[in-house]
Chains A and B, each alone.
Chain A
Amino acid sequence: MHDSILTHARSRYLWVAIALCVISIALYVWHDPGIAPNGGTWLGYTLGTIAALLIVLLLLFGIRKRSYSTTLGSTRGWLSAHVYLGTALILITLLHCGFQFGWNLHTFTLVIMLVVIFSGFFGVYAYLRYPTLMTRNRESATRDAMLEEIGEIDQNALALADGIAPEIHGVVLRSIENTRLGGGVWTQLRARDGSDLAISKVRAAIAASSTQTGKAPAPLKAGQTIVAMVDFLAGQADDKKTEALRKLIDMLSRKKSLATRVARDIQYQAVMEIWLYIHVPLSVTLLAALIGHIVSVFFYW
């Protein structure tokens, strides 16, 4: 039975977090300070201390993640605790402040913490859903294997195309040139295989030329390679060439599907990683805000 980070050790940390929340709520309801509940009552100080320690513990996960030789719990266990205790932190901090908010450093700390936690929720979603999608997408291959296969197909297709006609060879060459996998942050997240990027580059190249050659190609669309070939096919009557062209079309279709899978693979990995670029810097920022919050509260005690 597969244990996810949420069900690790029979959801031990879920119960810990629930117990923590229930006890905090019970104390909050029972406690009657005489004035509006706030962080300065004895319960406020207690919940605040617990919350601060929890934040430090949660930050330590980053260190535990890279401590490969330690046996102090498993990384998955730490992550399970990190997720559940981080969720409980929302309630504990809200009870700590007595639901009082203002335009100040203290509410700023709370807001940063909430952004960190909600970005973490996205991370949990990504970690639970995307590995399965990635495995299915790869269909028992690895990304390197797929890229290698694409390279091989390129070679073979080029050789085959050369045997058919120079125009076909040119079309195949263009297709190879246009297939650009990867890209910047936005490109990776949108699973583009770079054809559009190559297209815009080609357009720019045409526009940049001082005089146009007679054969400026029309705007390219995905699959147009295939269309061009089918056009050619329609105009030819030679059996051998037709056979070769069909084979070429098959090859290029396979390459297209491989390229799409690689692009999707890149996309899944990017989605699994992108939220950390918010979660980690903001949690370090949260640490600074937390230090500021605690020091300022006791500076003007």
Chain B
Amino acid sequence: MRWLIRRVLKKGKGSVSYEEDIHYGEVLTIGRAADQAIFLSDLRAALKHASVTPTGSGQYRVESLIIAGIRVNGQITYAITVDAGAIIEIGTTRVTLLDARGDYDAAVEVAALDKSEQAAVSALRTKPTSLDQTWIAKRWPSWLGFLVVLGLGLLLPMASHFAKPLDTVLRHTPLPSLESWSTGELDAAHQFFGTDCSTCHQHPFLMVRDSACTTCHKATKAHADPALFNIPELGDARCATCHKDHNGERGMVDRDQRLCADCHVDLKSRSDGASRIADIGDFGNNHPQFHVNLPGWSAAGEFTPKSLPWTAGLKENSGLKFNHEIHLRSDGLNTPKGRRTLDCASCHTPEPGGAGMKPIAFETMCRECHALGFDTLAPERELPHARVEAVVYTLDEFYARRALEGGYADARAPTIVRERRRPGSPPLSRQEQLEALAWARERSREAARTIFTGKACVTCHTVTPPRGTDDDWKVAPVRVAGAWYVEASFTHARHATMTCNDCHAEAERSKASNDLLIPGIENCRQCHAGANSASGKLASTCIACHDYHRSPLLTLDKQ
């Protein structure tokens, strides 16, 4: 076995020369001992460091003879089979295994590494000793984070505002859609269009316009005419000044008293006298006495209520005569059905919705005791509780029939009326007819007189008898007001835990119907305080009773 050992000698800059040697033997030994085939004087080589044996198929087997191993092709190893071209590094010596050439069975090249090559090798093998030499970095993660967040968080949702199909797609992926821009939950009533942000946010970078709101809230009333009341807070107010969405399902009504009181506490001066209502600041300590709507009629007889400040003992002319005290007697009243004790609920029942009470109805509440019978000879007949004409017609026609039929057993009636007409008897003569009709007219007028002024109508109504034959009975118009406080919304339903007497205590003692039994502000202040619940009372702000959107003339979309 002939080995070619070629040593590389570097003389001067760049010039390289070779020195060739022959080694005979199966195994090529490398080490610092004198008997090694390749002698290395480097202290980093062991005396007997390694051996190289050709395998016969063009490969070499390199084996380490020490426990430190040997570096072949950059890796520490103990035994390895390599092809030609493999490099063994020991200290500053590089041994390259070459393929067999010429007469030789095997060949190696031995080169000493110069300083720069050594530095390069050690640099290659040196491990990073500080973090900036490792793979982690600050720059590319920064760019990545910036672009990803800007793209997915801002640009993609913004694009989907302009391209709705993109928004639909995004909402079905885990990627952020416009939903990720929402700053809070929508009002419960707005959830049904909540996935389409541009329903309200119609123009980018512009605040939500009123026109977006009035698309649905068309008939919302204005508060007051800004042309009449020149106040900036009135005219400049947008819907969103008071109603801000994205604050949860509980709704957008703002109950803060300052929204009202900030203007109304000095409204007269603020509106330069245009406002005629009192200055109001707080229900508890700065609210005038209520103004009550009382019934009234114009000269022409039209119902024209008048508004007066409430005072104790204020009288209300409803046109009706009624004595509460008698009706509410604790020992009861005699009724056709026996002794009965009445209470408030016998006549005053809440209307559907519970705000006020149902109107008083004669038919259901009074007739049972106050029957409108008019003739003892026909006790089952009662007059309708209707207009004067209808009553008079009823009487006329009743007595006309009695006259025609006969058999009316009144001693004062003429014979022709008293006699009962039998089948087959001759028809009445003209003379008899006139007599009968005259009686009927007379009788009916008498009955009317009795009813109107004697025992029935006059009990409760103010009746004016006719002045002449062409005149009619007149009954004064009756209006039990129904809504005494029109500017505030009071509802009995929310006060169902109280009794009638808690607020309407005078009713039991009221003998006259013109007693105003509706309480004033002091009654409400027993329980309701202003915005701050002082001494344990119920905190009530302005909108507890009043509406902001109340203008009878203007709606918001036309304002």
Q: Interface on A for B, CB 8 Å cutoff?
A: 34-36, 38-40, 100, 102-106, 108, 143, 155, 158-159, 162, 166, 169-171, 173-174, 176-177, 180-185, 187-188, 194, 198, 201-202, 205-206, 208-213, 215-217, 266, 269-270, 273-274, 276-277, 280-282, 284-285, 287-289, 291-292, 295-301
A170-B126 Cα distance, complex, nearest whole Å: 22
Considering the complex, which residues of chain B in the window 366-390 have a beta carbon less than 8 Å from any beta carbon of chain A?
none
A282-B138 Cα distance, complex, nearest whole Å: 9
A183-B130 Cα distance, complex, nearest whole Å: 8
Instruction: List, in ascending order, chain A residues with CB within 8 A of B180's CB.
Output: 103-105, 108
Q: Residue of A at shortest CB range from B141?
A: A281
Q: A34-B256, A183-B127, A213-B63 are in contact. List 14 more A-B contacts (CB 8 A).
A: A36-B248, A104-B179, A108-B180, A185-B131, A202-B76, A210-B81, A212-B78, A273-B131, A277-B141, A280-B142, A281-B144, A292-B154, A296-B158, A299-B204
Q: Residue of A at shortest CB range from B149?
A: A288
A53-B201 Cα distance, complex, nearest whole Å: 27
Q: Residue of B at shortest CB range from A283?
A: B142
A281 pairs with B78, CB closer than 8 A: no
Instruction: List, in ascending order, chain B residues with CB within 8 A of A201's CB.
Output: 75-76
A105 pairs with B130, CB closer than 8 A: no
A210 pairs with B79, CB closer than 8 A: yes
B76 pairs with A38, CB closer than 8 A: no
B25 at the interface (CB under 8 A from A): no
B153 pairs with A105, CB closer than 8 A: yes
Contact of A105 among B137, B181, B254 (CB under 8 A): B181
Instruction: List, in ascending order, chain A residues with CB within 8 A of B192's CB.
Output: none
Q: Residue of A at shortest CB range from B154?
A: A292
B197 at the interface (CB under 8 A from A): yes
- Could you give, for residues 408-436 of chain B, a 1 whenever the CB lies within 8 Å of some chain A CB and a 0 otherwise? 00000000000000000000000000000
B258 at the interface (CB under 8 A from A): yes
Q: Across chains A and B, which 10 residue pairs bring their CB atoms closest together, nearest first?
A: A34-B256, A285-B145, A182-B127, A292-B154, A281-B141, A174-B68, A170-B66, A284-B142, A182-B129, A173-B68
Main secondary structure of the interface of A (DSSP, over half): helix
B135 pairs with A185, CB closer than 8 A: yes
A202-B484 Cα distance, complex, nearest whole Å: 103
Instruction: List, in ascending order, chain A residues with CB within 8 A of B207's CB.
Output: 301
Instruction: List, in ascending order, chain A residues with CB within 8 A of B153's CB.
Output: 105, 108, 288-289, 292, 296
A296-B259 Cα distance, complex, nearest whole Å: 29
Interface centre among B80, B131, B142, B206 (most CB of A within 10 A): B131
- Could you give, for residues 123-157 of chain B, a 1 whenever the CB lies within 8 Å of some chain A CB and a 0 otherwise? 00011111111111110011111111110011001
Instruction: List, in ascending order, chain A residues with CB within 8 A of B147's CB.
Output: 288
Interface window among B42-50, B326-334, B335-343: B42-50
Instruction: List, in ascending order, chain B residues with CB within 8 A of A273's CB.
Output: 130-132
- Could you give, for residues 257-300 of chain B, a 1 whenever the CB lies within 8 Å of some chain A CB and a 0 otherwise? 01100000000000000000000000000000000000000000
The smallest C-beta distance from B343 to any residue of chain A, in angstroms, reads 44
Q: Interface on B for A, CB 8 Å cutoff?
A: 32, 43-44, 46-48, 63-69, 75-81, 126-138, 141-150, 153-154, 157-158, 161, 176, 179-185, 197, 201, 204-208, 244, 247-248, 254-256, 258-259
Interface CB pairs A-B, < 8 A, 21: A34-B256, A35-B247, A102-B185, A166-B47, A166-B48, A170-B67, A177-B68, A177-B69, A177-B76, A183-B128, A188-B130, A188-B134, A202-B76, A266-B130, A284-B142, A289-B153, A292-B153, A296-B158, A299-B161, A299-B201, A301-B208
B129 pairs with A291, CB closer than 8 A: no
A38-B245 Cα distance, complex, nearest whole Å: 12
Given A205-B69, A273-B131, verify A213-B79 contact (CB < 8 Å).
yes
Instruction: List, in ascending order, chain A residues with CB within 8 A of B131's CB.
Output: 185, 188, 269-270, 273-274, 277
Contact of A291 among B150, B176, B258 (CB under 8 A): B150
B244 pairs with A173, CB closer than 8 A: no
Q: Residue of A at shortest CB range from B143?
A: A284
Contact of B142 among A36, A100, A209, A281 (CB under 8 A): A281
Given A100-B184, A182-B126, A284-B145, verify A291-B154 contact (CB < 8 Å).
yes
Q: Residue of A at shortest CB range from B243?
A: A35
A184 pairs with B134, CB closer than 8 A: yes
Q: Residue of A at shortest CB range from B130?
A: A269
A188 pairs with B129, CB closer than 8 A: yes
A106 pairs with B127, CB closer than 8 A: no
A183-B129 Cα distance, complex, nearest whole Å: 6
The smallest C-beta distance from A34 to any residue of chain B, in angstroms, reads 3
Given A276-B138, A301-B206, verify A270-B130 contact (CB < 8 Å).
yes
A198-B154 Cα distance, complex, nearest whole Å: 50
B254 pairs with A181, CB closer than 8 A: no
Q: Residue of A at shortest CB range from B125?
A: A180
Q: Residue of B at shortest CB range from A187?
A: B127
A155 pairs with B145, CB closer than 8 A: no
Instruction: List, in ascending order, chain B residues with CB within 8 A of A289's CB.
Output: 149, 153
Instruction: List, in ascending order, chain B residues with CB within 8 A of A102's CB.
Output: 182-185
Instruction: List, in ascending order, chain A residues with CB within 8 A of B65's CB.
Output: 215
Given A102-B183, A277-B138, verify A162-B43 contact (CB < 8 Å).
yes
A27-B79 Cα distance, complex, nearest whole Å: 78
Instruction: List, in ascending order, chain A residues with CB within 8 A of B133's CB.
Output: 182
A205-B79 Cα distance, complex, nearest whole Å: 8
A194 pairs with B247, CB closer than 8 A: no
A158-B66 Cα distance, complex, nearest whole Å: 14
The smallest C-beta distance from A130 to any residue of chain B, in angstroms, reads 14
A285-B144 Cα distance, complex, nearest whole Å: 8
Interface centre among B153, B179, B182, B244 (most CB of A within 10 A): B153
Q: Residue of A at shortest CB range from B248?
A: A36
A162-B41 Cα distance, complex, nearest whole Å: 12
A200-B521 Cα distance, complex, nearest whole Å: 93
The smallest C-beta distance from B325 to any residue of chain A, in angstroms, reads 49
Instruction: List, in ascending order, chain A residues with CB within 8 A of B43's CB.
Output: 155, 158-159, 162
Instruction: List, in ascending order, chain B residues with CB within 8 A of A176's CB.
Output: 44, 68
The smallest C-beta distance from A202 to any residue of chain B, in angstroms, reads 6
A281-B132 Cα distance, complex, nearest whole Å: 15
A225-B161 Cα distance, complex, nearest whole Å: 71
The smallest C-beta distance from A209 to any residue of chain B, in angstroms, reads 4
A173 pairs with B66, CB closer than 8 A: yes
A285-B143 Cα distance, complex, nearest whole Å: 8
Instruction: List, in ascending order, chain A residues with CB within 8 A of B197's CB.
Output: 300
Q: Residue of B at shortest CB range from A156?
A: B43
A185-B136 Cα distance, complex, nearest whole Å: 8
Given A169-B46, A296-B157, verify A205-B77 contact (CB < 8 Å).
yes
A104-B206 Cα distance, complex, nearest whole Å: 21
Given A177-B76, A299-B205, A301-B206, verify A171-B154 contact (CB < 8 Å).
no
